[in-house]
Chain A
Amino acid sequence: MGFILRLAWRDWRGGELGLLVIALMVAVGTVTAVSLFVDRLHQALLKESATFLAADRYIGSSAEIPESFRQAARDLGLETADTLSFPSMVFTADDRNSLVSVKAVGPGYPLRGVLRVTDVPFTPPVVTTELPEPGEVWLDGRLFPSLGVALGDRVEVGYATLEITRVLTSEPDRGGSMYDLGPRLLMRIEDVPATRVVQPGSRLSYRLLLKGEEGALETLKADLGIEEDPNFWWRGIRESSPTIGSALTRAESFLLLGGLLGVLLAGVAVALSAHRYARRHYDHVGVLKTLGATPNQILASYVGLLAVVGGVAVSFGLLVGSGLHLAIVAMLQSIIPVALPPPSVRPFLLGAVTGLICAIAFALPPLLHLKNISPMRVIRRDVGAAPPSQIASYGAAVAGSLGLLIWYSGSIELTAWTLLGTLGALALFGALATVLLRGGRVVGMQAGSGLRLALAGLQRRRKENTAQILIFGLAIMLLLILLLLRTALLDEWRNQVPENAPNHFAMNISPEDVDEIGVLLEANSREQGGLFPMIRGRITAVNGIPAKEWEATHRSEMEDGPRLSSGRNLTWAEDMPDDNALVAGDWWDAADTRAMVSLEDDYAEDLGLSIGDQLTFDIGGETLDVEVVNLRRLNWESMRPNFFIIFSPGALESFPATWMTSFYLERDNKQFLNELLSRFPTITVIEVDAIIAQVQSIIARVTQAVELVLGLVLASGVLVLIASIHASRDARLSEHALIRTLGGTRRLIAGSLTAEFAALGLFAGIVAVVGAEITVLILQTQVFELGASVHPWLWITGPLIGALLILVVGLLGTRQLIAAPPISVLRGLN
């Protein structure tokens, strides 16, 4: 043990182990920092997302939730609260009325998030921890002008008369569904029996809100057998708010991908530095063997050395990772308004095990090989070491990478695609690198001496340089992949809620008010989504086949897609809505009076409908036959009125319709709602700005996390470059020392190195762009479910970035080579 420690200390002192230790430390540090941050941010995001539900999970049903459920939850230490939502009419003392969406809540509500209230409608709200007392109601701001009521007035809900005591601005679980349209009335669940509105056939939505430990929640779900019971549904943030759910899922996938790419890069750096260390120890081992060191002693020494180095690197890596993560948290403190919960043990474990796997898979094989070095090497340099077993080396690295990837991402699919991309790229890179090197040599024949020297060098060390282009290319490719995915993901997320997207919906507009409201909105809001007539109807037959029958044979497997025969909001339009895109067929001519219909593409696909199909609609008891003439794609996140089914103008005009629109209102122009609702008391206005703000704040935070991971991966990438340049440093050293002794000037060497690194970088850049484009295409379409895209700018910037990056890192890494007098270089080599 003493000898191993002395060996480790002497090698460290001699600078032999520095890069290996740093590479291992970076691997451990990156993983620890990323997973610590992700772990805490993830917990925080989940917690914050839970406010969208007002709970961690809920059990929903259209029937009353059995007391046994509540008891089971409480037995598991979970907090519970009940809510019951239903639409109802409210009446005032002077007989004005409005359809409202009642939410009756029990004590404890909301379990997550807060209620915001005010005393004057449309004024800034304050957070409250109170609930309406029994006998009281809190009303949505827009009900005050439309009902002509004030605080202290009374309203009737069914048979109960309740006092208005607050203006309710928001509750956490408001933005559940677009069909929960009416303005909100919040009351106590204890008052519901007095209203007598709960009748057989009433549209009721019961929820049992739950809050508590993840494990307890899962246990409850399993104990109650909810998944098997069609009368109840179990909901978390992912199921109930798909937009946020998918943003979170993608963010996690991305962060994990980033983290594991970081680990892979660090692994490559570990392998490179271990190989260099081993190569530099061939003579060392030869001497030790002539001095009597046995192969087993050599083996034990170097394995022991790696254990010592690994132990030190892991310890420091964990410290560095923790420090780095604290620095990041401190840096982002001001923009992360959520309080980060304390980290779990997992990130530290992840970091330590990563270090261990990196050491075993990447660093151990070349060191194991040292025991096979022949002692003859000390007197016969040409007795080279038998090359390390390629299968053992690469096999261990691949197995290690695979293990890390799967463990780290928890996703075999993501791992498989990443690995496939990497392997495919490697094969492609090898071929491409060879071609580029050959081409470079041909060009080099016509070049000046520095460049000729460089390109001749590239060609001469073809094998090494191909490997180096592969490694550089891989590192740059991984960075490009991350950059491209980040751009694609961020754009996708940002586009989900465009800036100035309409933040209010106005519905239930009577036809005679349409023009006037249009003018009023034009004058007071910045962006309108267009006015659309809305007619309720349903499909009864397709090509003469009854809808239910058609559905049984044509509906796709997707259980939660729209149903053919359910009631739908229909509209008609002369022109296609602005943000729709035609994917098949032609838009109709305004002069064409035939009854035609345009369907949303996915809707048509799910229900097996196509152009030319004849649909029979039941609208208000009347039957209407129309032909499908085109398919459209919608932008669901545009916050504009969107319709699955749009009729040609002539077809629906004779049916009575109400109209709807959407518009954007500045926060300080909210008073306009008062004016609008006073003048048109029958219209319904839905404020969605709060939901948009919530979605945007989550996206903003996710973005920061993504950028942070990108930074860390970049650091690993640069480390690989440094390790790779170090690995070839010895060969370059002797070559350049020789050229210098033969009369080559420093300028010639500098010029040649510049040209060599630039060429290597350029080639690696080209190779990386090819690999990145292919991998990103596959990842985007197969894993992230985004659209495919090619990036022409990359083909210019990729090689340029490669050349510049490797030039800078390369020249920094070899500046001693240029500066040192040749004699010291030659001596150093001895």
Chain B
Amino acid sequence: MTALNVIPKGEDEPETMDAVVIETRSVAKIVPTAEGELAILEGIDLEINAGESVAIVGASGSGKTTLLGILAGLDVPTAGTVSLCGAELTALDEEERAKVRGEQIGFVFQTFQLLGSLTALENVMLPAELRGEAEAEQDARDLLAKVGLAQRLDHYPRQLSGGEQQRVAIARAFASRPNVLFADEPTGNLDTRTGATIIDLLFELNAEFDTTLVLVTHDDRLAARCGRVIEIDGGRIVG
């Protein structure tokens, strides 16, 4: 990891609000199909600064989820470059990208993606455990208390409601104290009221942990809470 010029986090984090944490240059994603090549993304150039909250919006199939995956280092573009917190993702292999993910980002998913065989507490402890940190439990308990689930520590995901599951997912996302939090339709599976609560919680924690937030959503209320909205259509940024 020493070769990676990543922004250190925690107390030494620079306070400059306009430091660029995500930068893409001419990113394209082209996949082969039976009918020939299909461009899912084309010519994506964007910069996201530290502390910003950005909503990526667009119709179904516009390419926004693919873009999110590429920005988070879950996927690689077929052309162009992506850097995340100073790390050139497109120059790294999967092993190194995983390390960047583990250290720099948090993720909240539409389908919550909690591990069914783990309790709420264990799900939140997971990122720290993956980094080999022993003292993960107290932090996880505190985070679950913050999201209002102090009484549900030993419940399994199947014993929790959708809203509760998403709170666990949010607690887990912040457990690694990420520089950037990616969220994919975080309210997509929730009713309006629960969705609103989750949005509040997300922004509350985002402010508290001073995280950059990048989310994909169809939810106008959610998009409206973000500082910037990027609209995608046909694989291109249109606004």
Interface residues of A (CB under 8 A from B): 3, 6, 10-11, 13-16, 283-284, 286-297, 374-376, 378-380, 383, 824, 827-828, 830
Contacts and interface: CB of A to CB of B under 8 A. Distances in A.
Given A376-B75, A378-B74, A295 B111 contact: no
A296 B130 CA distance: 12
B109 A378 contact: yes
Q: Max chain B CB contacts within 10 Å: which of A283, A379, A383?
A: A379
B158 A827 contact: yes
Given A10-B122, A378-B109, A291 B130 contact: yes
A284 B109 CA distance: 13
B25 interface: no
B66 interface: yes
B117 A287 contact: no
B112 A291 contact: no
Contacts of B102: 291-294
Contacts of B94: 294-295
Given A10-B122, A292-B99, A379 B184 contact: yes
A544 B72 CA distance: 99
B98 A294 contact: yes
B130 A287 contact: no
Contact of A379 (B74, B98, B101, B116): B74
A292 B117 contact: no
B98 A10 contact: no
B42 interface: no
A638 B218 CA distance: 89
Contact of B98 (A3, A14, A16, A295): A295
Interface string B39-67: 00000000000000000000000000110
Contacts, number: 98
Given A291-B107, A379-B68, A297 B184 contact: no
A290 B66 CA distance: 15
A246 B105 CA distance: 72
Given A10-B118, A294-B95, 16 more contacts: A14-B117, A287-B115, A291-B172, A292-B127, A292-B176, A374-B74, A375-B74, A376-B75, A378-B74, A378-B107, A378-B113, A379-B69, A379-B110, A380-B65, A380-B69, A824-B158
B170 interface: no
Interface string B143-179: 0000000000000111000000000000010001000
B132 interface: yes
B222 interface: no
Nearest to A297: B130
Contacts of A3: 129-130, 132
A13 B130 contact: no
A830 to B, nearest CB: 7
B74 A284 contact: no
Interface of B: 65-66, 68-69, 72, 74-75, 94-95, 98-99, 101-103, 105, 107, 109-118, 122, 126-127, 129-132, 156-158, 172, 176, 184
A290 B107 contact: yes
Pick the 6 closest A-B CB pairs, nearest first: A292-B102, A14-B117, A294-B98, A375-B74, A376-B75, A379-B184
B115 to A, nearest CB: 6
Contacts of B131: 292
B95 A286 contact: no
Nearest to B119: A10
A795 to B, nearest CB: 45
Contacts of A379: 65, 68-69, 74, 109-110, 184
Contact of B158 (A11, A283, A291, A828): A828
Contact of B74 (A293, A376, A827, A830): A376
A204 to B, nearest CB: 80
A376 B69 contact: yes
Contacts of A824: 158
A827 B130 CA distance: 27
A374 B75 contact: yes
B235 to A, nearest CB: 15
Contact of B117 (A10, A291, A296, A827): A10
Contact of A291 (B68, B69, B122, B127): B127
Contacts of A295: 94-95, 98
**A contacts with B: majority SS:** helix
Contact of A380 (B66, B99, B118): B66
27 contacts: A10-B117, A11-B117, A14-B116, A14-B156, A284-B117, A289-B74, A289-B98, A290-B72, A290-B101, A291-B130, A291-B176, A292-B127, A292-B130, A293-B102, A294-B99, A295-B94, A295-B95, A295-B98, A375-B75, A375-B98, A376-B75, A378-B109, A378-B113, A379-B74, A380-B66, A383-B75, A830-B111
B115 A297 contact: no
Q: Max chain A CB contacts within 10 Å: which of B65, B68, B117?
A: B117
A12 to B, nearest CB: 9
Contact of A297 (B65, B98, B112): B98
B117 A16 contact: yes
B101 A292 contact: yes
B136 to A, nearest CB: 11
Nearest to A375: B74
Contacts of A376: 69, 74-75
B213 to A, nearest CB: 16
B74 A291 contact: no
B126 A291 contact: yes
B73 to A, nearest CB: 8
A293 B130 contact: yes
Nearest to A380: B65
B99 to A, nearest CB: 6
Contacts of A10: 117-118, 122
A60 B186 CA distance: 90
A292 B69 contact: no
B40 to A, nearest CB: 11
Nearest to B165: A830
Contacts of A828: 116, 158
Given A290-B72, A292-B176, A379-B184, A284 B115 contact: yes
Nearest to B68: A379
B111 to A, nearest CB: 7
Contacts of B156: 14
A13 B117 contact: yes
A297 B66 CA distance: 25
Contacts of B95: 294-296
Nearest to A383: B75
A13 B117 CA distance: 7
Q: Max chain B CB contacts within 10 Å: which of A10, A13, A14, A292?
A: A292
A383 B31 CA distance: 12
Contacts of B65: 379-380
Contacts of B68: 379
A768 B126 CA distance: 47
A287 B117 CA distance: 13
Q: Max chain A CB contacts within 10 Å: which of B68, B94, B127?
A: B94
A376 B126 CA distance: 19
B75 to A, nearest CB: 5
A291 B109 CA distance: 12
A93 to B, nearest CB: 95
Contacts of B158: 824, 827-828, 830
A824 B113 CA distance: 17
